Chain A
């Protein structure tokens, strides 16, 4: 067929033009393929990061969090917070000065423990499955016990109560011991006693409000109080009507605090890391799951642990190494890539084992709940809210809000600019390709005039020019796909990483902040290597753009050629 050989000759014999135009189209289509693929990959990475709960088979987290800013309204949580984060500075209990000591202190941070049985009282029709977990911050110390220790005796001081100096009778304070409030009968009895004593005082010619009168009154009240309010065990009387008067009895703990004064230079090494107890009976839901193991295997026995990839690399831990926690040896059986970004840990072991070594038997501080279906998330959340005082329910929208960092920035940036950039690239490519095509058609004015002079119709000329451009477009599209794929491979080889930072949902290193021991634990931050993947749709879009560009340019060129006069053939110009 003559027209095809003409087409082939045009493309082959004007190879420079062919290469320039099809390369231009190829570059544009490759750029668009790369832009779209990168943006899609960023978005999908962002999606898994923003919804870490889904990665661990859950949609709700239950924790018990103390709000340190609420001015201590939740007293019980406040006491638990103190209790769960105490690190004694009295090292003398580990031996004599000069001896070496090793200790692991398990701290809850602000993720307070709660009893397992309280948490698992769930409506089975709303809940598909759940897993228990315990995430603790470990302060590991070893070194020599320092010499200089001071002893401070506390407790038994005289306190001023009601404007009056009073000697304290009790010995031990047990903050948080709940005392049943006075019954009606007891209160009746108390007011009767008060009335009688007031009368007695007045009969003795004293004013009940004078210091002397008050002491008599106090003694009488102390005497008449129900046994459980008496300060033998140490008591703060808080929930009694007696508080309405100005009379209070406070007894402080009589104890000895030993501490180092101005901590001397010692060789004490402190390390902080997080450790999580995992419900290994659950395969599809949990803080870390068997399918997140990247090397080795998952925990199957109580003497096994798995470590996170980041901890393994920073501490140079390998499979079959041994980790010692609270004098118990564990063997590392696997390396995991934990996906619950808001609550990751460095070391994972069996839940019961961690409960044992951290002295938190039958306690957990995080529960993962999978609702029966998407519609029941809200019902489950409200039910979980009421499980126990201070229950904190977190769902995927809450976790998404906690993620920041370059990954989130980049993804929102590409979201904003991917359309704009693609359009700019497309327009620029169309303009350049059209200019090149029109330029080359102008150079062929005499050729086209000649074709018309020897009897070619406009239709035939236009068809020829369009066909040339369609072929250029197809070449551009194919080369563009190749270049796009190469660019994607190159991008993936470049190790472009993005970080995502997760506001911690609990574990803080309060122990360290208070006692100034050692470094902080690793902040909850994960980095993601940009792994660009492409879809056939993206490749199709890229190649269609090349072909469309060629057709647009070709149409303009063809229109120009249709306007050319056959008399151009006779122009005596070279």
Chain B
């Protein structure tokens, strides 16, 4: 079952008089439950691709279908809703709100608020193995711990898709593998679709599908 479909996707940036083709005619189908790892060096267009899939940016040309709906054509407020319900983001720099505790950072992402928010957030933190340091500020947590909080935040609304932009890029291999393990577990247990972009080779072993991006063009690789 195709969850995500990209058709002739283009994204161009003007940089002075030059036009940069960050994403240059990509076609891609991702099925529900895929664990897609995309390798690419910096400047290859991998972040732009992720932004287009997640509805953070709009394409210059082409379409992005999520669940059969072209998100390139929907309004900003619908896009916001889509981000909240369907997509969870994990960032290289964790992007936690510095003034909020681990628990509050997770709580911040809850879309349908209720009295159970705290319990829900605690549960999500437990799921990523961070049950006891929930009231610490991000600055008091290690990189791995911060990324666990970010993953908990990404899965709090039970999204179909988790988009991870270099989630292990700032972590040592051991910690990075722990994070990758968590993502793999979510993929397996919750059947959540994961698209992870990286240049760390060890991610290859978790993937169900591997691709590489270069000069805005995508290429399937053998696993």
CB atoms of B57 and A565 under 8 A apart: yes
A2 within 8 Å of B by Cβ?
A: yes
Counting chain B residues whose Cβ lies within 8 A of the other chain, the interface size class is 35 or more
Q: How far is the CA of A412 from the CA of B205 in the complex (A)?
A: 85
CB atoms of A456 and B47 under 8 A apart: no
B69 within 8 Å of A by Cβ?
A: no
CB atoms of A454 and B98 under 8 A apart: no
Q: How far is the CA of A454 from the CA of B50 in the complex (A)?
A: 14
Q: Give the residues in chain B near A567, CB-CB below 8 Å.
A: 51, 56-57
Q: Give the residues in chain A near B92, CB-CB below 8 Å.
A: 572
CB atoms of A455 and B91 under 8 A apart: no
Q: Could you say which of A12, A446, A457 has the most chain B C-beta atoms within 10 Å of its C-beta?
A: A457
Question: Who on chain A is nearest to B81 by CB?
Answer: A455
Total contacting residues, chain A, CB less than 8 A: 26
Q: Give the residues in chain A near B122, CB-CB below 8 Å.
A: none
* A-contacting 9-mer, from B2-10, B60-68, B105-113, B172-180: B105-113
CB atoms of B91 and A5 under 8 A apart: no
CB atoms of A453 and B54 under 8 A apart: yes
B85 within 8 Å of A by Cβ?
A: yes
Q: Contact mask B75-88 → A, CB, 8 Å, 1/0?
A: 01100110111001
Which of B89, B117, B137 sits near A454, CB closer than 8 Å? B89
Q: Give the residues in chain B near A456, CB-CB below 8 Å.
A: 80, 84, 108
CB atoms of A9 and B57 under 8 A apart: no
CB atoms of A454 and B54 under 8 A apart: no
Q: How far is the CA of A147 from the CA of B193 in the complex (A)?
A: 128
Question: Smallest distance from the beta carbon of B47 to chain A beta carbons, Å?
Answer: 6
Q: Give the residues in chain A near B153, CB-CB below 8 Å.
A: 454
Q: How far is the CA of A572 from the CA of B46 in the complex (A)?
A: 13
CB atoms of B108 and A572 under 8 A apart: no
A524 within 8 Å of B by Cβ?
A: no
Question: Smallest distance from the beta carbon of A130 to chain B beta carbons, Å?
Answer: 76
Which of A5, A12, A455, A572 sits near B80, CB closer than 8 Å? A455
Q: How far is the CA of A566 from the CA of B165 in the complex (A)?
A: 14
User: Closest 10 interchain pairs by CB?
Assistant: A455-B84, A13-B99, A450-B95, A567-B56, A9-B99, A454-B109, A566-B56, A457-B80, A455-B83, A567-B51
Residues of A within 8 A of B (CB): 2, 5-6, 9-10, 12-14, 446-447, 450-458, 565-567, 569-570, 572, 574
What are 14 A-B residue pairs whose CB atoms fall within 8 Å in the complex?
Answer: A2-B110, A2-B117, A5-B104, A6-B99, A13-B137, A450-B97, A451-B97, A451-B108, A455-B81, A457-B81, A570-B47, A570-B50, A570-B91, A570-B165
